[in-house]
Amino acid sequence: MEQDKSSVDKTSPDGVSGVSVFEPEDKPSWVVSKLKIEMKGIERVTDEERQHNTTKFWNACTFWLSANMAVATLNVGSLGGALGLPFWDSFAVILAINVVSNLLPAWTAAFGLTGLRMTTFSRYSFGYWGNMLVVVFSMVATTGWNAINSISGAVVLNAVSDGRCPTWAGVIIICTVVWIICTLGISWIHRLDTFAWIPPLIVWCVAAGTSASHLTGADFNPVSGPNRAAPVLTFMASIFSFAVSWINCAADYNVRMPVDTPRWKIFSATYVGIFVPTVLVQALGAALYSGTLTSPEWKDAYGEFGVGGLLKMALGPAGGFGKFLMVLAALSAIPNNIPNNYSFALHAQNFGPWALRIPRVILVTFGFVAAIIIGCCAAEYFDDTLQTLLSVIGYWTVIHITLVVEEHFMFRGGWKGYDLNAWNDPVYLPFGWAAIGAFGFGFVGAALGMKVAWYVGPIASLIGDKGANVGHELTFAFSGIAFPMFRWLEKRYTGC
């Protein structure tokens, strides 16, 4: 509302009750102090706090280098071949879509300079209560990715052990290590991710060299017209969804950077950190899949162990060293999963004052348990689960970023249009009627254009014999047109 906000309690993280979650007299325990475990949650990190407890802008690069230099990225790259696309078609999609889609999480990463996490900052566009949609879908997305990424690493452990390490056991191992690191908090995460991207980079370089003789760019499925456009569009949707899945947490890791850090530095560091490893590893995934077209052994290995089988065949010539590299590849799922488990707790604290009082460590643990349960169950239907999750998360994320962008430029007039001290007070935030309405319209578009294992929308079914995923485009169109109209009405009749 356009009111004097001086009455807002700017010292309390709970703008509703005025009760501070972390009282000044509270002293951390010896263990917390010694290990430097992060105890605070989504409370805004003030400018004064960031003068003494800062991170560097290059952490935005190394964090995402580590998160994306992962076996899950390899898995996504192989989906083009599974859809029937030759390597060069897959590579063209990987390069073109990442050039554009990586701009979105890089832009939202700069919102961290406000001192607010992305899910909390979304209250300014989705409203205090409408933002519950953001919270729920963000928690579902991070839990789903936590499970999927763990499975990606677990199947590699399963392959290198010749089945002696079951996929469910690999999921538990990876999720447990991720939980420990996320429990410690952001300082430990940035320390780890400064170097965590280097071992998997070595793995991918060696795999590219040792497998080169088995890879091909030939087209073994020469079709044209709608039947070629359909898998291209579906693969585009998968690549886009993978890139934009970072939007709902990209700001979370920059809240401790000095307030005067130039936004272009955060944007550039984040873009490089996401774009470079994503393109390289996804392209390798597409190339490794082509080995199944020239070698029956490769095809059998992929059928039995998925992408783990492809890595096993690729690194086979390296002998024992190749097995060691496979273990490193599997462990790349750890930094890949850190954003999901860590941000899960921050998403959950946005449910309200009662959630803000739940210690971050407990919420991290809850996300860890949920990921293990879902990961162990989803492993049996991994391919269908991966494509379905990529699509559904992509639809929701398109709505999220569309509404944030439109609010930012059309209704806030840029960065100066936010009262950052009102982040937790529903009196000075929209209710969220406009966002709720636009959200509903967006999912109508998704339902018309989606193509997943269990459903093909009426518009999607019109493209090719098997249909094509055009849900993202329709989601953007429906939500993007609806929100400005609804938001204008909301501001006119509520004042916020």
- Look up the CATH number of the domain holding residue 196: 1.10.4160.10
pLDDT at residue number 381? 66
- The DSSP element (H or E) to which 74 belongs, if any, is helix 71-82
The secondary structure of residue 459, as a DSSP letter, is T
Residues 281, 70: contact at Cβ < 8 Å? yes
Confidence of residue 377 (pLDDT cuts 50, 70, 90): confident
Q: Detail the DSSP E strand segments found in 252-322.
A: none
Query: Per residue in 60-85, pLDDT tens?
Result: 899 999 999 999 999 999 999 998 99
User: How far, in Å, CA of 196 to CA of 200, rounded?
Assistant: 8
Note whether residue 39 is domain-resident: no
pLDDT at 38 over 80: no
Counted domains in the chain: 1
Which residues are within 8 A (CB) of 234 and not within 5 positions of it... i.e. 6 or more apart?
83, 451, 468, 469
Note whether residue 388 is domain-resident: no
pLDDT at 355 over 80: yes
Note whether residue 118 is domain-resident: yes
Residue 250, φ and ψ in degrees, nearest 5:
-60, -30
Note whether residue 62 is domain-resident: yes
- Exposed, middle or buried, 129 (CB in 10 Å: 0-12/13-18/19+)? middle
pLDDT at residue number 23? 40
User: How far, in Å, CA of 344 to CA of 352, rounded?
Assistant: 15
**CB-CB neighbours of 18 under 10 Å:** 12
Note whether residue 402 is domain-resident: no
CA distances from 467 to 97, 159, 456 (A): 20, 33, 7
Placement of tokens 């509404």 in the chain = 403
Confidence of residue 9 (pLDDT cuts 50, 70, 90): very low
Range of the structural domain that residue 270 is part of: 44-381
pLDDT at residue number 6? 41
Query: Mean per-residue pLDDT for 480-484?
Result: 97
Query: Per residue in 125-172, pLDDT tens?
Result: 999 999 999 999 999 889 888 888 899 899 999 999 988 899 899 999
Note whether residue 401 is domain-resident: no
**CB-CB neighbours of 377 under 10 Å:** 13
- Exposed, middle or buried, 272 (CB in 10 Å: 0-12/13-18/19+)? middle
Query: Per residue in 188-224, pLDDT tens?
Result: 898 899 999 999 999 999 999 999 999 998 887 777 7
Note whether residue 264 is domain-resident: yes
CA distances from 83 to 75, 378, 465 (A): 13, 21, 13
Note whether residue 416 is domain-resident: no
CA distances from 106 to 100, 101, 248, 365, 411 (A): 11, 9, 11, 28, 22
At residue 275's C-alpha, the angle toward residues 274 and 278, to 5°, is 80
Which residues are within 8 A (CB) of 246 and not within 5 positions of it... i.e. 6 or more apart?
64, 67, 105, 274, 339
User: How far, in Å, CA of 466 to CA of 159, rounded?
Assistant: 32
pLDDT at residue number 387? 60
